[in-house]
Structure 1
Amino acid sequence: MTDLAIAANGLRKSYGDKVVLDGVDLAVPEGTVFSLLGPNGAGKTTAVKILSTLISADAGDLHVGGHDLAADPQGVRAAIGVTGQFSAVDGLITGEENMLLMADLHHLTKQEGRRVAAELLERFDLVEAAKKPASTYSGGMKRRLDIAMTLVGKPRIIFLDEPTTGLDPRSRHNMWGIIRELVSDGVTVFLTTQYLDEADELADRIAVLNDGKIAAEGTAEELKRLIPGGHVRLRFSDPAVYQAAAVALREVTRDDEALALQILCDGSQRELRAILDWLDAAEIEADELTVHTPDLDDVFFALTGGGTHIPDQRTPPVQSAQADQSKETVR
């Protein structure tokens, strides 16, 4: 427990007959990014609200920052910061005034409050805008100010509930940099997001929430390996070479129109090396070799009922009709 920033066992929450969280278990190590994914209405925000003491759970053994959520909610609140998808920034006052207001709420002295505010405004590149009303800020600037305000209390755990919703790509990438900096300082980040590439980019571990339960949990790579369909695709420009390769390799899926062959592969270094050795032994030289491995989109849709079922064993190679739709990355 001491090495976990967040530990939840048997977390349950219902609203009337609607079960939102049905025995959820979570374990978030200190100094990591943990991402909770799930479709709209899956219970992600409810989990954040419970773990940040905003609402109570119906059941569960819950610890945040080493504090029992039920017995010591004040201890939990002292250890955490919360930033939602809807900014808590007051647009009627300046960015600096927002910071100083937060410093007052944390009972900092006037001198200490000004020092902390100045440091955080500089850290989040808001010095030039500090004297302007926050209502004039862009979405990305408001989000940065919101996180800066959260950091006034020096929390060791930060809940980021869809922090980049509505931001343009540049602002999203800037926010990713901020999150990485927080973690490098030892902060634990509990991230919910609707952007799967965001979880893939940032999270040390990912849990997928569906129908109130954790459908799967692991690193991004571990989750991707749950999905069948990874393959190597060989494309040829010479029909004769293509036909010879198809005969020599045998256990492949053919795409005669594209002059392409598809070989089942999980994308691991060992399997790729075996395939390359196989090609060398058969004296086959393709004009193009591409590798497709399932991504988090595939995982998400499979786990939440919107895509391929995840089997116990790996399925046969993807058929040519599916190959046209596969996402491929040139290696």
Structure 2
Amino acid sequence: MIIEATGVEKAYGATTVLDGVDLAVREGTVCALLGPNGAGKTTMVRILSTLIRADAGEIRVAGHDVRREPAAVRGVISLTGQYAAVDEEQTGRENLVMVGRLMHLGRAAARRRAGELLERFDLTDAADRRVRTYSGGMRRRLDLGMSLVATPRVIFLDEPTTGLDPTSRETMWDAVSELVRGGTTILLTTQYLEEADRLADRIVLLDGGRVAASGTADSLKAQVGGSRLDLHFDRRSELDRAAALLPGVVDVERLVLGVASDGSAAHLRRVLDDLADAGVDVARADGHRPTLDDVFRAVTAASPSARAGVPA
């Protein structure tokens, strides 16, 4: 395990942000941290990357104690935060060369590394333009490139694709996959469940400052159950009556009741017949296999932010 954390705690005054979090990440893999707003994801990343100190717990990154050896930890990690940390008045190439010189690369080596990263992130054509002319996706790719100048063993990505268009997001996903194939370890926080499903070898779901669930995407989906039948209603009153008759997950905003199903037509007919006999009108019924969204809703069902359907 290249990241090992046990019993991590952090509070700000009377507000507990992390309450005994355990985390283990195998080298050369992607671990995704999911959870509702305020679950403690960004705080955990900031602790692991030595930006803030935990109140309690044991934490090691690449064998180094985060509390006692912060300089050693910083020597093997890189952090890409929620906002691109680039100099808008410099060109893309100048930003990369600057970081190379700060990392004590020689002038020629810094320019060579900058050229490699510009090509990797499809920025060669824009290399000598000022960054203030870049799109949001281009800035994000440059930001990730800057974090790779020194080829770190561990990269922390805190919501790296928030606000990007689908094409830019795909480019970032490809870059992350390429890094992992090369042996780099990625700890990722994300608002996009699809992103975690596609990239992560392991997912850790935080809720209320604690680990609510962890495992592979497939194992987490299996915990939710088999197929699910989503019943859509036109009125809240119909949803409430259906929920009183059938056990399931209620989505008030979407007026949907999700019930466990074996995926058969017979089960669908039986559910619709039972509701019709009770005088409940169903607008539409959809069947599908469990997704990470189902996992998120099921595991954090007691969280107000989860009921609002806002993963972060």
Structure 1-normalised TM-score? 0.75
Partner of 1:255: 272
Question: What residue identity is the alignment partner of 1:124?
Answer: F
1:297 aligns to 2:303 (yes or no): no
Superposition misfits of 4+ residues, deviation over 6 angstroms: none
1:38 aligns to 2:35 (yes or no): yes
After TM superposition, the structure 1 = structure 2 runs for residues 90-169 of structure 1, keeping only pairs within 5 Å, are: 90-169=87-166
Contact 1:164 1:172 in 2 (8 A): yes
Aligned-partner Cα distance in 2 for 1:23–1:64: 18
After TM superposition, the structure 1 = structure 2 runs for residues 37-56 of structure 1, keeping only pairs within 5 Å, are: 37-56=34-53
After TM superposition, the structure 1 = structure 2 runs for residues 207-286 of structure 1, keeping only pairs within 5 Å, are: 207-228=204-225, 230=227, 231-235=261-265, 253-256=270-273
Partner of 2:232: none
Aligned-partner Cα distance in 2 for 1:56–1:254: 53
> Offset at 1:35?
0.2
Question: What residue identity is the alignment partner of 2:289?
Answer: T
Contact 2:103 2:150 in 1 (8 A): yes
Deviations 1:103-154 (A, max 9, x none): 1110111111111111111111111101000111111111110111000011
Aligned-partner Cα distance in 1 for 2:43–2:205: 14
After TM superposition, the structure 1 = structure 2 runs for residues 39-78 of structure 1, keeping only pairs within 5 Å, are: 39-78=36-75
1:16 aligns to 2:13 (yes or no): yes
Aligned residues: 261
Aligned-partner Cα distance in 2 for 1:137–1:185: 28
Aligned-partner Cα distance in 1 for 2:24–2:298: 23
> Offset at 1:17?
0.6
Question: Structure 2: which 5+ runs fail to align?
Answer: 228-260, 275-285, 304-312
Contact 1:205 1:220 in 2 (8 A): yes
Question: What residue identity is the alignment partner of 1:179?
Answer: V
**Percent of aligned pairs sharing the same letter:** 56
Over aligned residue pairs, what C-alpha RMSD do you find? Answer: 2.2
Question: What residue identity is the alignment partner of 2:270?
Answer: T
> Offset at 1:234?
4.2
Question: Structure 1: which 5+ runs fail to align?
Answer: 236-245, 258-289, 308-331
> Offset at 1:251?
11
Task: Give the secondary structure class of the aligned counterpart of 2:33.
Answer: strand
Question: What residue identity is the alignment partner of 2:89?
Answer: L
Task: Give the secondary structure class of the aligned counterpart of 1:128.
Answer: helix
- Structure showing greater Rg: 1
Aligned-partner Cα distance in 1 for 2:223–2:270: 21
